[in-house]
Amino acid sequence: MHTIPITVSLYAFLATTFLFSCSAYVAQAPLSDDKCTETTVAILGGGMAGIAAAQALSNASIDDFIILEYRDTLGGRVWHTDFGKDKQGKPYVIELGANWLQGLGSEAIENPVWALAKKYSLKNTYSNYSSIRTYNETGYTDYRYLLDEYAQAYHIAARDAGRILTQNLQDQTARTGLALAGWRPRKNDMAAQAVEWWSWDWEDAHTPETSSLVFGIAGENLTFNQFGKANHLVLDPRGYSTIIQNEALGFLPNPSGNRLRLNTRVTRIEYSPRGVTIHTTNDNNKNSNTCIRAAYAICTFSLGVLQNKAVTFDPPLPSWKQTAIEKFNMGTYTKIFMQFPETFWPTDTQFFLYASPTTRGYYPVFQSLSTENFLPESNILFATVVDEQAYRVERQSLTQTKDQILDVLREMFPDKHIPEPTAFTYPRWTNEPWVYGSYSNWPAGTTLEMHQNLRANTGRLWFAGEATSAAYFGFLHGAWYEGRDAGENVAALLQGRCVEDVSTASTASGKEEKEEACGERIFYEQLNGTTPLDAYSRLNGWPAVSYY
């Protein structure tokens, strides 16, 4: 049975002591000598998780909080920009980051992001993944039958992943699972490699070799089997982030007020049983160094920010937390937008899959926006690259990338004149100091307990975001759920309420009982392996001496 560690119980005791030792929602003495602004809760990050956390606090009648956001607007990785222009000279709006409403249509339970989309009339269009043509270096080549072959193997692998999870067997890579299910394309079968990229890498931003079979498939199932299979592409001229900004208006009626600080970079976080002090700066103003003192802080930084040590923690995060941060992967998903003088590709097709003759994942998919129900007659096409290919395009110039893409398009459409684009752009996610990547992924061999250490609080410092979601990592609704959960738990601690946050577990007697935590999240100071020391023997091919 997983019990709440002594450390967690101590924090819960200190939180209770805090409530009795001072008036409600008042922060404690500063952890440094700086003169700090005082607040009850500091929310670090104004993306989906941060706003969901603030909403949860507001719903609990806790309105003394401050949101700190690096950028000049709310939204985080839900990031849009103007691009190109229409026939009247007005720019289009494209989404550099999150772009889809994923998993909707279920009558049993509604995806919270879909609920927000309906609430604010977010313009979106169904993505039909069956609307696809396939190409290689010679032009149009129909290898769509490989999509069906992959789907059959994936179904078998998904069934095996469920068996591994429910029977507590050792995890394996997605590559192993797919191979055992009958799908293992040869390295020189570039059509099959392109199909595999379309079917796996495009969603996970990692290869099957670097992805967990169990949690990679579980993450897909928990979203699409629960909320519905449909994906809708957001095409709203206000930008996808309008749902986040409009939600914030519910508890931030004055966005320019003191409770929201934009253009604010967090440099250091000091935390103790007395509270949390956040040191910040504004890179546009060298004299803007400030600090905020809070009873609690909710950190919604991306996994990439934590891994790149963009913020100093004082004291350093405990070893179990640091290990968990480094255990998971941060992927990069880069969309490359281009507008042409004309639409030279079929307007009745949404997706175009390209199999490079030499390199897996080399500009493998193009998506048309110049299509009915999207942005017709916009002449806009966008390509997507992930992982190592995304890092490559980030390191090179726009001109280099543009020329490479034009070469690919000329191979795909040899009978067409491919002109120079009139507009061309893409983000460089891995280089952005406020995110350092796109979204997280679980490598093989990761356990639920290790992930719990990623999401667990360290005393009064809480963590939330898509990466802390075991069920919905990589999804925008994962960030929403985790932000809400952190906000509700912090509110419960401040108000002396208990939140049932731990699932039913079996005791040694075989009975089931609920573990209950007063807001605090459990963590595991030590995670043991699967092989006992006495198994390291000649019987298992191990030398008698390990030389450690």
| 93 assigned ligand-binding residue | no
Residue owning tokens 């696809």: 132
Q: DSSP of 368-422, one letter per residue?
A: ESSSTTS-TT--EEEEEEEHHHHHHHHHS-HHHHHHHHHHHHHHH-TTS--PPPS
Per the omega criterion (within 30 degrees of 0), is the bond before 253 cis?
no
Contact in structure between 301 and 466 (CB atoms under 8 Å)? no
For residue 517, give the DSSP letter.
Answer: B
Q: Which residue shows structure tokens 């069956």?
A: 130
Distance CA 352, CA 458 (A): 47
Q: What angle do CA 503, 505, 506 make, to 5 degrees?
A: 165
- φ, ψ of residue 299 in degrees (nearest 5): -95, 115
For residue 39 the two structure tokens come to: 């607040």
Characterize the bridge pairing of strands 265-272 and 312-314.
parallel
SS3 content of the chain, % helix, strand, coil (to 5): 35, 20, 45
Element at 279 (helix H, strand E):
strand 275-282
Q: Are 54 and 248 in contact (CB under 8 A)?
A: yes
CA-based nearest residue to 122, from 70, 171, 181, 78: 78
Query: Can you tell me the distance from the alpha carbon of 453 to that of 320, in angstroms, rounded to the nearest whole number?
Result: 7
Rounded to 5 degrees, φ, ψ at 167 are -100, 5
Residues annotated within the binding site for FAD are 266
Residues annotated within the binding site are 266
